[in-house]
A = this chain, B = another copy of it.
Amino acid sequence: MKEVVLGIDIGGTSSTLGLVDSLGNILVESNMPTPASASGMSASDFAELLYGKVFELQRQVSEACQLVGVGIGAPDAKFDSGTIEFACNLPWRHEVVPFVALMQRHFPDIPIRMTNDANAAAIGELVYGGARGMKHFVTITLGTGVGSGVVVNGQLVYGSDGFAGELGHLIMTPQGRRCGCGRRGCLETYVSASGLRQTAFEVMSRRYFSEKSLLKEISFSEMTSKNIAAAAQQGDSMAQEVFEETGKMLGLGLANIVTFSSPEAIFLYGGLVKAGDLLLAPTVKSMNENMMKTFCRRSAQGQIVQEANVRLLPSELNDSNGAVLGAAALIWSESK
């Protein structure tokens, strides 16, 4: 009988479940809405809903399979305690939800592991993606916000409380933009999809009033990173400046990250990565310029070249199923 792991990715609006074999094949996948805050649904009821879905999934798989574990990626999830704590994008924003224990009631005999979605992506990259065989790497998810996972000595860095690796909340400019975390100037406020949109308005606010730009026809609420990318690709100089500014800040952040853990590679993941060289080129430029010489490569003659040793790579996980793979990898990485 084929052994499979149930991978669950709980997102702010929808949740995805999949049965994943040890090679990282998703045999079957299914989506369901995450309960909205207004629904008042209890975490216990949601766990039961998820449990119900598993039978549907198993019925869709042609061969007989045995469930050997459940891996869960969720916002504000804590690995050590198996809890989801004060998750502002879930209906239980004022609670510490013992989600692993709730799920364990339905699956009493198999291991259940949970971590936050960004850490799950890092584990997915380690087990099934481009980081296979690497001891030191970082994954950065550039989405609505910025998530991250840090691997040191082959292990995820959870820190003393299970919450380490919040690199989206490195303060870049103490008096900078207001962040949802309640502080100011976090990396996330500049290099997320939301930050990119804000930068569009910053650029418009400081350039000549009379300059033309496609961005000038779009309201704040309607501005998206797609709009901006499309304009930049058509040669719109303000839109291009938005990506340059974003890359500048991201490159500086990455240089600081290297100063900390000197990873072999940094993997970029998430929607913004689709902008390709529009974002990557200025990011690499800024990362190289801001890199401490200690972490720069040396020429054949032994001279320092102002160019980072670390490799900046796109994630090898597919955006659409990377989160489910990563969640499943929480279990598979333990059994290997």
Query: Do A161 and B262 contact each other (CB < 8 Å), given the known contacts A152-B152, A153-B152, A182-B293?
Result: yes
Distance to closest chain B CB from A96 (angstroms)? 7
* Contact between chains at A256 and B171 (CB < 8 Å): yes
Distance to closest chain B CB from A30 (angstroms)? 31
- Interface positions, chain A 73-114, Cβ under 8 Å from B, are 76, 86, 96
Q: Chain A, 146-161, contact with B by CB distance < 8 Å: what is the 0/1 string?
A: 0000101101011111
Q: Indicate whether A15 reaches chain B with its CB closer than 8 angstroms.
A: no
Q: Which residue of B lies closest to A161 (CB)?
A: B262
Q: Indicate whether A302 reaches chain B with its CB closer than 8 angstroms.
A: yes
Count copies of this chain in the complex. Answer: 2
Q: Chain A, 129-173, contact with B by CB distance < 8 Å: what is the 0/1 string?
A: 000000110000000000000101101011111111111011101
CA distance A136 to B161 in the complex (A): 10
Q: Indicate whether A53 reaches chain B with its CB closer than 8 angstroms.
A: no
Q: Which residue of B lies closest to A311 (CB)?
A: B160
Q: Indicate whether A70 reaches chain B with its CB closer than 8 angstroms.
A: no
* Contact between chains at A135 and B160 (CB < 8 Å): yes
- Interface positions, chain A 292-329, Cβ under 8 Å from B, are 292-295, 302, 304, 309-310
Q: Indicate whether A38 reaches chain B with its CB closer than 8 angstroms.
A: no
- Interface positions, chain A 37-64, Cβ under 8 Å from B, are none
Q: Indicate whether A23 reaches chain B with its CB closer than 8 angstroms.
A: no
* Contact between chains at A169 and B292 (CB < 8 Å): yes
CA distance A260 to B135 in the complex (A): 17
Please name all residues of chain B whose beta carbon is closer than 8 Å to the beta carbon of A292 when the two chains form the complex: 166, 169, 181, 183
Q: Indicate whether A241 reaches chain B with its CB closer than 8 angstroms.
A: no
Please name all residues of chain B whose beta carbon is closer than 8 Å to the beta carbon of A290 when the two chains form the complex: 171, 174, 183
Please name all residues of chain B whose beta carbon is closer than 8 Å to the beta carbon of A135 when the two chains form the complex: 160
CA distance A182 to B294 in the complex (A): 11
* Contact between chains at B264 and A169 (CB < 8 Å): no
* Contact between chains at A295 and B163 (CB < 8 Å): yes
Q: Indicate whether A261 reaches chain B with its CB closer than 8 angstroms.
A: yes
Specify which of B86, B96, B155, B170 is in contact with A256 (CB 8 Å cutoff): B170
Please name all residues of chain B whose beta carbon is closer than 8 Å to the beta carbon of A255 when the two chains form the complex: 171
Specify which of B166, B256, B294, B304 is in contact with A163 (CB 8 Å cutoff): B294
* Contact between chains at A136 and B163 (CB < 8 Å): no
Q: Choose among A161, A260, A310 the residue with the greatest number of B CB atoms under 10 Å from its CB.
A: A260
CA distance A150 to B257 in the complex (A): 13
Specify which of B153, B169, B170 is in contact with A155 (CB 8 Å cutoff): B153
Give 8 nearest A-B pairs by CB, closest first.
A159-B262, A164-B262, A160-B264, A136-B160, A166-B259, A163-B294, A152-B152, A169-B292
Subset of 24 A-B contacts with CB under 8 Å = A86-B304, A96-B302, A135-B160, A150-B260, A152-B152, A153-B153, A153-B157, A159-B261, A159-B263, A161-B262, A164-B261, A164-B262, A166-B259, A166-B260, A167-B259, A167-B260, A170-B260, A171-B255, A171-B256, A181-B294, A183-B290, A256-B256, A260-B260, A260-B261
